[in-house]
Structure 1
Amino acid sequence: MGKQLQGRTFVSCIKTLLMAFNVLFWILGAVVLAAGIIVRVEVYRYMEVKQEFSETAPYVLVATGGLMLLLGLLACCCTAKGQPVLLYIYAAFLLVILVILVGSSVSTWAYRDHLKEGFQDGLTGALTQYHLIPSIASAVDTLQSWLSCCGIVNATDWLAMPYGQQNEPPYPLSCCQGARENICISLHRQGCFNTVVHFFETHKNILLIVCISVAGFQFLGVVLACCLARSINKAKYEQV
Structure 2
Amino acid sequence: MKKGRVDTALTTAPVVTCMKTLMMVFNFIFWVTGIVILAIGIWTKVDLYKYLELSNIYKAEAPFILIGVGAVIVIVGSLGCCCTVKGHSFLLYLYCGMLFLVFIMELSAGITLLVYKGKLEKGFQEGLTHKITLYGQKGEETITDAFDELQSKLHCCGIGSYNDWFSTPWGQEQKEPHSVPVSCCRVDIKTCQNSNLPPQANSTHMPIYTHGCHKLVVDFINGNMGPIGGVALGISFFQVLGAILACCLAKSISKAKYEQME
TM-score bracket, shorter-length normalisation = 0.7 to 0.9
The correspondence for 1:196, drawn from 212, 217, 239, is 217
Give the 5 Å matches for 1:46-65: 46-49=54-57, 54=59, 57-65=62-70
Q: Which residue of 2 aligns with 1:69?
A: 74
Q: Where has structure 1 moved over 6 Å in runs of 4 or more?
A: none
* Contact 1:150-1:190 at 8 Å conserved across structures: yes
Pair member with larger Rg = 2
Please list the CA deviations of residues 70-100 of structure 1 after superposition, one character each: whole Å capped at 9, or x if unmatched.
2122222111111111111111111111111
Instruction: Report whether the alignment pairs 1:235 with 2:252.
Output: no
**Counterpart residue identity of residue 208, structure 2:** L
**What secondary structure sits across from 2:65 in the alignment?**
helix
Gap regions ≥5 residues in structure 1: none
Structure with the bigger percentage of helix: 1
Taking a change above 3 Å as real, the CA distance of residues 205 and 125 of structure 1, as seen in their structure-2 partners, is closer
Structure with the bigger percentage of strand: 1
Q: Which residue of 2 aligns with 1:36?
A: 41
Taking a change above 3 Å as real, the CA distance of residues 238 and 76 of structure 1, as seen in their structure-2 partners, is same
Give the 5 Å matches for 1:48-197: 48-49=56-57, 54=59, 57-132=62-137, 133-167=140-174, 168=176, 170-179=179-188, 181-183=190-192, 186-197=207-218
Query: How far is 1:57 from its partner?
Result: 4.4
Aligned-pair identity in percent equals 38
Q: Which residue of 1 aligns with 2:22?
A: 17
Query: How far is 1:232 from its partner?
Result: 0.9
**What secondary structure sits across from 2:53 in the alignment?**
helix
Taking a change above 3 Å as real, the CA distance of residues 190 and 225 of structure 1, as seen in their structure-2 partners, is farther
**What secondary structure sits across from 1:47 in the alignment?**
coil
* Contact 2:111-2:233 at 8 Å conserved across structures: no
The correspondence for 2:240, drawn from 212, 219, 225, is 219
Query: How far is 1:151 from its partner?
Result: 1.6
Distance 1:226 1:145 in 2: 52
Gap regions ≥5 residues in structure 2: 1-5, 194-205
For normalisation by structure 1, the TM-score amounts to: 0.84
Aligned length: 237
Distance 1:230 1:126 in 2: 59
* Contact 1:179-1:186 at 8 Å conserved across structures: no
Q: Which residue of 1 aligns with 2:53?
A: 45
Taking a change above 3 Å as real, the CA distance of residues 142 and 115 of structure 1, as seen in their structure-2 partners, is same
Taking a change above 3 Å as real, the CA distance of residues 171 and 182 of structure 1, as seen in their structure-2 partners, is same
**Mean CA deviation greater in 145-154 or 167-176:** 167-176
**Counterpart residue identity of residue 159, structure 1:** F
